[in-house]
Amino acid sequence: MSNILYGLNIALKAMLSQQIAIQVTEHNVANATTPGYRRQEAMMSADLPHIFPSLRANVVPGQLGMGVVVNRIRQYNLEFFDDRYRRALSESKGWQMQADLLKQVEATLAETSEDGLIPKLDAFWSGWQALSNDPTNTAIRSDLLERGAALAKAINWRAQALVRIQQDQNSLILQRVNEINSLASKIAALNVEIVAVKSAGSAPNDLMDQRDQLITRLAELSGATAAIQENGEALVSIGGHALVIGATTFKLATTSGYLASIYWEADGNAFTPSRGELAGLLQARDVIIPRMLSSLDALAQNLVTQVNTLHAAGYALDGSTTGLNFFDPTGVTALSIRLSTDVANQPERIAAAEQSASPADSNNAVALASLRERLVMNSNTETFNQYYTRQITQMGIDIQRAEAFARDRLEVAKSLETLKEAVVGVNLDEEAANLIKYQRAFQAATRMVTAMDEMLDKIINGMGVVGR
């Protein structure tokens, strides 16, 4: 039966509903600058009406409304944009990591300074040229040995620097693998909480925001993708291999040794990310740096071969027979190139002469100096200087390309984020308008309570007394 208390109940539910809406608005405003926060909204609907028996139809026609209720707290979300945004962001992070590592290599090699390898090569050829002008000068011969040793050490040092940088990436890779495992464990824990909250009929919006932030970081690291299940769980995978399924995680591990590799701990399969910071690290460590080391090896080996071939055909100042090596020919690499014991600390044994017992003969020194211009590298298409210059130029191109791709993909990610924020982000002007709307509705509900209180007061205290 309809009575005056129904009106009080409707007013109370209106007050409570508007209060919830105000609290949600306050929550939005408080998190307006919180990264990854998606705005929320209290979704209201008319409460189920009260159906009166047909005997009362002449008094209350049809159904009588029972006010308003908050059905749920809606979270604005665009999962399609999330996937595209994370993909673009992971690609940008991969290219940026590769560019940063290559710039570290570029700074270490210092090829734009006077201590670069090209100046050392030029000084070495100039030493032979100087010796050809005065083949009997012991000081010039000693200087040539110093220049040869300096060139060998410069090649050694660059190879050692590349190897150190390459090995240093092991610790970075281990750090990121540990971070991936930690993020996976946190996502699995959030999965459990989210499922529990959803099964209770509530909306775990803030928990889902936290999980989305963790998934985004995973994407930055490894190009991970996520699929949200009906029960609210996130299924996270990397390259088609599951990382998180519900509360279960599949951890990554690294091998020990010269260059650490990554594998899945459960099945031992290799882990090869195609995007993300790890992909950039592995590309630089396992492809680009080995290519540079191989180029240095080729330079060292050809330099030793060409110089030793000509030097062994000449004669030393002391009349030594042919067959003397300028550089040590044993197992030549960029790490091991050095002067031969045939000439080390023995400047008189430098074979500058083409004829025996001819101290003033400098034809062999001329031939060795002319190696500066001979096409002996890259299938006889480049000089030593041109070959190494091309390698350094290629590194610069690799850096520019990586930075360009990183900027390009980052711009795509920013554009997607801007589009997404237009829908899921907090607009303070809109929230201010909503706050006023909910506040006025709350005030109106309190007026309803006041009116009901006055009506009850009249009924309780004023009825039954006549003449007053």
Encode pLDDT of 169-193 as tens digits: 888 999 999 999 999 999 999 999 9
Domain boundaries, the chain: 4-76+425-462, 85-409
- For residues 301 and 193, give the distance between their C-alpha atoms in angstroms, rounded to a whole number: 62
Q: Is pLDDT above 60 for 59? A: no
Residue 147 has pLDDT above 50, yes or no: yes
Matching residue, tokens 């159904």: 63
d(CA 84, CA 88): 6
Task: Please report the pLDDT score of residue 355 as a whole number.
Answer: 86
User: How many angstroms separate the Cα of 152 from the Cα of each of 149, 159, 184, 327, 339?
Assistant: 5, 11, 49, 9, 7
Torsional sign, CA 253, 255, 261, 266:
negative
Give pLDDT, residue 116. 87
Which band of pLDDT confidence, cut at 50, 70 and 90, is reported for residue 53? low
The pLDDT of residue 68 is 92
User: Residue 260's closest CA among 270, 250, 251?
Assistant: 270
Residue 353: both structure tokens together:
């002469």
- Work out the number of other CB atoms within 10 angstroms of the CB of residue 344: 15
**What span, in angstroms and rounded, lies between the C-alpha atoms of 436 and 425?**
20
The packing angle between helices 138-199 and 117-133, to 10°, is 170
Average pLDDT over residues 20-30: 94
Report the alpha-carbon distance of residue 442 to residue 375 in Å, rounded.
88
In this predicted structure, the answer to whether residue 28 has a pLDDT above a threshold of 60 is yes
Residue 422, judged by CB atoms within 10 A of its CB (0-12, 13-18, 19+), counts as exposed
**What is the tens place of the pLDDT at every residue in 115-134?**
889 999 999 999 999 999 99
**Token reading at 112:** 């734009």
Burial of residue 208 (CB within 10 Å: 0-12, 13-18, 19+) is: buried
Rounded CA gap, 335 and 293, in Å? 9
Of the pLDDT bands very low, low, confident and very high (cuts 50, 70, 90), residue 8 is confident
Residues 428-432: what's their mean pLDDT?
Answer: 94
pLDDT (0 to 100) of residue 54: 54
* Whether pLDDT at 397 is above 50: yes
- Range 145-167 average pLDDT: 94
Phi first, then psi: give them for residue 315, nearest 5 degrees.
Answer: -125, 145
- DSSP assignment, residue 339? B
pLDDT category at 3 given cuts 50, 70, 90 is low
Average pLDDT, the chain: 90
What pLDDT was estimated at residue 466?
59
Q: How many CB atoms are closer than 10 A to CB 465? A: 7
Q: What is the pLDDT of residues 348-374, one digit of tens each?
A: 999 999 988 787 889 999 999 999 999
C-alpha 290/C-alpha 274 separation (Å) is 19
* Contact residues for 367 (Cβ-Cβ < 8 A; gap 6+): 310, 314, 354
Question: For position 242, what pLDDT does the model report?
Answer: 94
DSSP string, 364-425: HHHHHHGGGG---BTTTTB-HHHHHHHHHHHHHHHHHHHHHHHHHHHHHHHHHHHHHHHHHS
241 within 8 A of 250, measured Cβ to Cβ: yes
Per-residue model confidence as pLDDT tens digits over 310-361:
999 999 987 766 789 999 999 999 999 999 999 999 999 999 999 887 878 8
Least confident span in 208-217, 320-329, 376-385: 320-329
CA–CA separation, 132 and 151 (whole Å) = 19
- Residue 114's identity, in one-letter code, is E
Closest CA to 337 of 106, 138, 117: 117
Split at pLDDT 50, 70, 90, the class of 1 is very low
